[in-house]
Amino acid sequence: MFGIENSKDRLNQLKENFKSLQKDSLNISLAEKTCSDAWHLIDWVYEEKKIEDSSLTKQNFRIFVYNNCNQMKILHDLVNSFKHKKLTSPKVHIKKTITKQGDFSGIFSNDFNISRLEIYYGNQSKISVNELIKTTIGFWEKLI
């Protein structure tokens, strides 16, 4: 669709959106789109992997993904919360999300006081949306 034919194309689109998000780290609409792209790659990659292995089920593939990239559980909850508001089967139990205005944009490292969207989940864990996306991009690059 519109030039996105396979998971590699989808991953490249995710990377482009992530570059934009790093420049505008507090853009909630862009963060939502980028998180959604990162999450939905699971469906694209699954469809390609099941061609290679006809015994692969969606459930088994998700278990594999969750075991190898815990951040995908966070994306599951975050993206499905955007869509449904209340989750019936959360994976990490997101407690809250906050917008944190910093002195620097998300292009800078976490060593600086960067602007970021933060997700608090589980037992006092937190991650920024930029770190979440960066990690999942790395995971998808290895898998695709």
Q: 118-138, pLDDT tens digit by residue?
A: 999 988 899 999 999 999 999
Q: What share of the chain is helix, strand, coil (3-state, %, to 5)?
A: 55, 15, 30
Average pLDDT of 29-33? Answer: 97
- Read off the pLDDT of residues 61-103 as tens digits, 9 standing for 90 and up: 999 999 999 999 999 999 999 888 788 899 999 999 999 998 8
Task: Identify the residue whose tokens are 């800078």.
Answer: 108
Going by C-alpha positions, the residue among 87, 90, 104, 97 that lies closest to residue 126 is 97
Q: How many other C-beta atoms lie within 10 A of the C-beta of residue 17?
A: 19
- Give CA–CA dist 78/129, Å, rounded: 10
- Give CA–CA dist 28/99, Å, rounded: 9
Q: pTM for the full model?
A: 0.90
For residue 46, give the DSSP letter: H
For residue 112, give both structure tokens.
Answer: 């600086």
Per-position DSSP letters for 94-124, written without gaps between them = EEEEEEE--SB-TTS-TTS-B-EEEEEETTT
User: How far is residue 73 CA from its own chain's centroid?
Assistant: 9
